[in-house]
């Protein structure tokens, strides 16, 4: 299991390495959010193993990017994040 790291996101978004702590905090939030909205009482590893690692990582990237750049919409995360979150929920719960 290779969960996306702060260094990976910093490189992808061309951010300064001094942003590592903030990006890691956003990653932790995104992972907790994904898990808590998918299933109660499970871990990141449980959700990733029950879904798709690439989709999970892309959802984390999308949420982190939205929060970091202030692109969160009034009604919540953007459409990309919502599609990924729904895919994760469906896969985990056996819908796909």
Would residue 27 count as lying in a domain? yes
Rounded Cα distance, 66 and 63, in Å: 5
Question: Domain span at residue 39?
Answer: 6-92
Would residue 58 count as lying in a domain? yes
Rounded Cα distance, 27 and 59, in Å: 10
How many domains does the chain divide into? 1
Rounded Cα distance, 96 and 70, in Å: 32
Q: What is the pLDDT of residues 5-57, one digit of tens each?
A: 999 999 999 999 999 999 999 999 999 999 999 999 999 999 999 999 999 99
- For residue 43, report the phi and psi dihedrals to the nearest 5 degrees: -110, 170
The answer to whether the beta carbons of residues 10 and 24 sit under 8 Å apart is: no
Would residue 1 count as lying in a domain? no
Predicted model pTM: 0.89
């Amino acid at each position: 299991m290779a969960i996306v790291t702060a260094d990976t996101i910093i490189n992808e978004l061309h951010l300064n390495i001094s942003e590592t702590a903030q990006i890691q905090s956003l990653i932790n939030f995104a992972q907790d959010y994904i898990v808590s909205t998918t299933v109660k009482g499970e871990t990141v590893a449980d959700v990733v193993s029950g879904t798709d690692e690439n989709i999970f990582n892309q959802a984390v990237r999308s949420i982190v990017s939205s929060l970091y750049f202030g692109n969160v919409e009034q009604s919540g995360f953007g459409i990309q994040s919502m599609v990924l979150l729904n895919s994760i929920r469906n896969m985990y719960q056996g819908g796909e």
